[in-house]
Structure 1
């Protein structure tokens, strides 16, 4: 892979080349506790210049409660046109189990909205037909803590639907494990795992559709930019969907890339290379 563009000073350096942005949320727009003011300002400025912004997130909840969360974090609604979540895409998978028993892994009530209107009942794993993973039960958990439970799921040949494909996220000044890490463990043990969020195509297709609705016209993929902080989800998803990537280095990859010190363009290129993403540029935090 050739070197990416030099570190850019902000989204303004690229804005004229793109009609729409499909932006990751956690790690780009907020850190799980509060918004990054520079990122919100960048998206506001981009929209004021005529660009369209669709948030594309692996949050394991439907879009409506996410908007309320973004309000609390200080993300102005004027900073984006629409939002699509992994939770939105996952609900279609869960609906196939209508009238049947599911086993939930994740915070016990935080993700209730994922099941709103779906005729499923939560049960113990030994009674369920599928395991639904939103996240680990607590922020202090590690995937390895679930190995014994996963042996039961595997013995019963339970498929897993993972509503959050992310492995880790930034939470304040900590890095915590997400549902995708548990999905990886189960797959490595031989379990069947289904995911609908990034980097998989259904969520990108819906985000692109929403961008075209916001623009009120067809869009060319060559003029659509993905913004993200994860090689596994954002870079791979952008590459598979055929759009450029602005890589935010100061989140989950901050330490290994010395994002806030003297980042090496070659190191960034090497990190992103396996995804085959086309880098439009990189910066430590999204800004204008």
Structure 2
């Protein structure tokens, strides 16, 4: 049964490292959550390691820049691994060819320009959809105004040509302040529903965890750390952690908050249990907000 806890400090002694989600746990896309920052700082103060594990489609360097822009302090974390990082390795391994069409916003261009030094060396050519061997989706071109319905014709053309989509962010939605936006995962879901093929390398899929473990081991010099995965995505953070044999801490006040009652700070335990039962997932712990 999931244990509803008051604070990270109440269980931190059981763990050496944290894999912490960003959006919905540490910030809302616009400002950091002070209590979450303080909790991660306190965890690190005991000689433990915080690795930020995000389904952002952009590489680590862009995630660092975003965190700095919205005011997340650098002393709240040790390392970052993004879905964009893991997806870049896949792209540069040739899993969908070399002639690539991109679906995504201009802000995602670093996916193609800021490449990991240890990735395979493969020349990627960006081409129109009619000339593509495969498609990389980092998100909607304008997630403030568009929905997956705006991409139906594009997805149908991809399906007709038998193209595989490499989805750089498995998340379906994200909350930007008080506004809910669609992510790349929503397009990948629509594509698979019409019979297309989409490949994923972010949470809850193994490649991002493999990369996170490698970076954690490089940072700490150990490969047997006791890890806690923290996140507000039941189908990404929690499902991924459980699949990796990692204890999980579910943040209830994130994207699923309305399911647990009118006050996000006081989730109804009965509603939480019923909802988790319906999801057929049982996180090790739950907490209203990361604190």
TM-score scaled by length of structure 1: 0.91
Cα deviation code 1:147-196 (max 9, x no counterpart): 12111110011110000000011111111110001100000100010010
Say which of 135, 138, 143 aligns to 2:139.
135
What SS does the aligned partner of 1:251 have? coil
Asked if 1 retains the 8 angstrom alpha-carbon contact of 2:259 and 2:272, the reply is no
Residue in 2 that maps onto 1:241: 244
Cα deviation code 1:209-248 (max 9, x no counterpart): 322333332324xx31100000111111011000111111
Unaligned 5+ residue runs, structure 2? 116-121
Q: Is residue 2:19 matched to residue 1:18?
A: no
What SS does the aligned partner of 2:3 have? coil
Q: How far off its partner does 1:98 sit? A: 9.3
How many residues align structurally?
281
Say which of 252, 255, 260 aligns to 1:257.
260
Q: Is residue 2:103 matched to residue 1:105?
A: yes
Matches within 5 A, 1:1-288: 2=1, 4-6=2-4, 8-95=5-92, 96=94, 100-107=98-105, 109-116=106-113, 119-139=123-143, 140-220=145-225, 223-258=226-261, 260=264, 262-273=266-277, 277-287=281-291
Asked if 2 retains the 8 angstrom alpha-carbon contact of 1:228 and 1:234, the reply is yes
TM-score scaled by length of structure 2: 0.90
Q: How far off its partner does 1:99 sit? A: 8.2
Residues 154 and 99 of structure 1: CA distance in aligned 2, closer, same or farther (over 3 Å):
closer
Structure number with the bigger relative contact order (C-alpha 8 A, sep ≥ 6) is 1
Which 10-residue stretch deviates more, 88-97 or 158-167? 88-97
Q: Write the distance in 2 (CA, Å) between the matches of 1:206 and 1:193.
A: 20
Which 10-residue stretch deviates more, 138-147 or 190-199? 138-147
Q: Write the distance in 2 (CA, Å) between the matches of 1:99 and 1:202.
A: 19
Asked if 2 retains the 8 angstrom alpha-carbon contact of 1:60 and 1:114, the reply is yes
Unaligned 5+ residue runs, structure 1? none
Q: Write the distance in 2 (CA, Å) between the matches of 1:144 and 1:277.
A: 30
